[in-house]
Structure 1
């Protein structure tokens, strides 16, 4: 299998950001199935839009946008080794993806997203962790109040706002992103699992 396609992609209503080169190379190197590539590209696109909107609304929010985008683009790479988890439940892909990325020279600070993307409520979760997890939820229209409130606390603190004000802005951003979920889900489902 060659590198995942870098040509422009449009999901009804919007163009989709291409994967970072390193992420595309990694997916090709592990023979990632088309559905996995489609999923990662969609989550990466939502992360791109989310981080751009957050940076505009809260310019004082410090986070590593490149790390978030790489994490979103590779968080499920372990599903290349556990393809049953592409269409069913399971968490074996998380430690497998972490190991796979480390074995291919990805630094721990980036490889950890593959292992920890579902552990957003763990002590010490960073803004980057929250953003990767949030993008992985909202791409399909899922809203997780506890996850969003963790981010709201940080946004309110850096913005000098009451939490309700930060929530209102974040809610508008997430509602806008979630509105494209049906088209993204339809696009992903058109790609084979194998």
Structure 2
């Protein structure tokens, strides 16, 4: 029996993965199913969301007094590339049209601007208005495949050091250790994503 596009999508959303990937927030799973997103996009969003959970928990453990909206970070990671549903050519190639398109899609579906914004801001960490939540989503979107972006990490280090009063070098070492650990499973996350077609 031949697998249908729906079968691929359901597997991308539900397969345990190796290492095991956490499920997406139910509201996001429902959204992706209703949009019938490309299976590769669903797999990618799961991988980035899973890293965002680990990253957010690592930040919470080190900075228990730092106010971070963890739910917003996880939603942002789980939907950051949702605009690629409308621009599937950007699943396999470069492009930024999906950013504003993703924000608008989420707004049209009734999501609050504070949540929809991540679809547009995940590649804009140099904007003066970015929040720590934006920086965490952007970082998860890079480190899931073990890509390190010094400018982004420097911005996150400055935000963390500014919030705690600790020295930036101290926060850099702690963040580097956390990101190195997250990057260690990048190969397996990439393998999971590649199991799913862009166009079934």
TM-score, normalising length: structure 2:
0.92
Partner of 2:35: 30
1:114 aligns with 2:109: no
Indicate which of 187, 193, 199 corresponds to 1:188: 193
Q: Which runs of 5+ in 2 are unaligned?
A: 1-5
Deviation, 1:24, is: 0.8
1:104 aligns with 2:120: no
Note if contact 2:76-2:137 (Cα within 8 Å) is conserved in structure 1: yes
Question: Structure 1 residue runs of 4+, over 2 Å off?
Answer: 1-8, 157-160
Aligned length: 192
1:151 aligns with 2:156: yes
- 1:1-194 residue pairs with structure 2 within 5 A? 1=6, 4=10, 7=14, 9-11=16-18, 14-194=19-199
Q: Distance in 2 between matches of 1:4 and 1:23?
A: 13
Q: Distance in 1 between matches of 2:167 and 2:99?
A: 36
Q: Which runs of 5+ in 1 are unaligned?
A: none
Deviation, 1:86, is: 0.5
TM-score, normalising length: structure 1:
0.94
Deviation, 1:7, is: 3.8
Note if contact 1:79-1:85 (Cα within 8 Å) is conserved in structure 2: yes
Q: Distance in 1 between matches of 2:32 and 2:54?
A: 22
Deviation, 1:159, is: 2.7
CA displacement, residues 44-102 of structure 1 (integer Å, 9 cap, x when unaligned): 00000000011001112211000000000001011111111100001111111111111
Note if contact 1:152-1:166 (Cα within 8 Å) is conserved in structure 2: yes
Note if contact 1:46-1:135 (Cα within 8 Å) is conserved in structure 2: yes
